[in-house]
Amino acid sequence: MKPTFVVASLNFERDLTILKDVLNKLEMKTNYKDSHKFAEKGQKAAGWWFYEIYCKPDFMEKVAQLESTNKKIDNERKILEIIQDTLKQNNSTARVRLYKDKPFLVHWWAWLMK
């Protein structure tokens, strides 16, 4: 299973609890079991924790179908927005992005590591 989301968090424990809660609620709404898992290891750099969330493609499709009745959700980006909105509502500083998207500073890091 490929990673779906990458999380950058300053408060690891609190943000992990919020993310688990969001994904578990989506899991309950869709009646889908074992839909996601968190990476076994995270990395810490400059005070931030970086870790990945793995979601099954079937689960992402079911969430898109379920939520599309309320508002237009047709892909992973819309599900990402749901997760980010929940984090903001809980005053979290965590940042979540899709795994397939390039990091913001990728070119700078590549130059720095030469």
Q: Strand, coil or helix: what is 82?
A: helix
Q: Residue 3 — pLDDT band, cuts 50, 70, 90?
A: confident
Q: From CA 111, how far away is CA 6, in angstroms rounded? A: 22
Contact, 50 vs 6, CB < 8 A? Answer: yes
What are the distances in angstroms from CA 32 to CA 38, 55, 81, 98, 101?
A: 16, 11, 20, 21, 26
Average pLDDT over residues 4-31: 90
pLDDT at 53: 92
Q: Can you state the angle between helices 57-67 and 12-30, rounded to 10 degrees?
A: 70
- The reply to whether CATH 3.30.70 applies to domain 5-112 is yes
- Parse the chain into domains and list their residue ranges: 5-112
* pLDDT higher than threshold 90 for residue 18: yes
Model pLDDT, residue 46: 82
User: pLDDT digit string (tens) for 36-94?
Assistant: 999 988 888 888 889 999 988 888 888 877 755 555 555 677 788 888 888 999 999 89
